[in-house]
């Protein structure tokens, strides 16, 4: 991902998804966090975070349903 990182450009969708997942796991790098805060669109991060949360809940529900029967 280092060749896609431009200091003056806003992050693309793949970089936003990567940042949201990394932040969710608690391993977001300082460089990417700075890029996101300086050039990112808050609405995009909220939307990707909401979708990731819904998918995570559905995954947990599916695993529990599978285990319980």
What mean pLDDT do residues 29-58 have? Answer: 94
Asked whether the predicted pLDDT for residue 6 surpasses 70, the reply is no
- Report if pTM > 0.85: no
CA distance 41 to 11: 9
CB 11: neighbour CB atoms within 10 A? 22
Q: How confident is the model at residue 9 (pLDDT cuts 50, 70, 90)?
A: confident
Q: How confident is the model at residue 10 (pLDDT cuts 50, 70, 90)?
A: confident
Residue 18: partners with Cβ closer than 8 Å, 6 or more residues away: 1, 32
What mean pLDDT do residues 9-30 have? Answer: 92
């Amino acid at each position: 991902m280092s060749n896609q990182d431009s200091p003056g450009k806003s992050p693309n969708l793949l970089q936003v998804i990567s940042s949201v997942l990394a932040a969710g796991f608690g391993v977001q790098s300082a460089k990417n966090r700075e890029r996101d805060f300086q050039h990112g669109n808050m609405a995009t991060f909220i939307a990707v975070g909401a979708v990731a949360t819904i998918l995570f809940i559905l995954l947990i529900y599916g695993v529990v349903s599978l285990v319980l029967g």
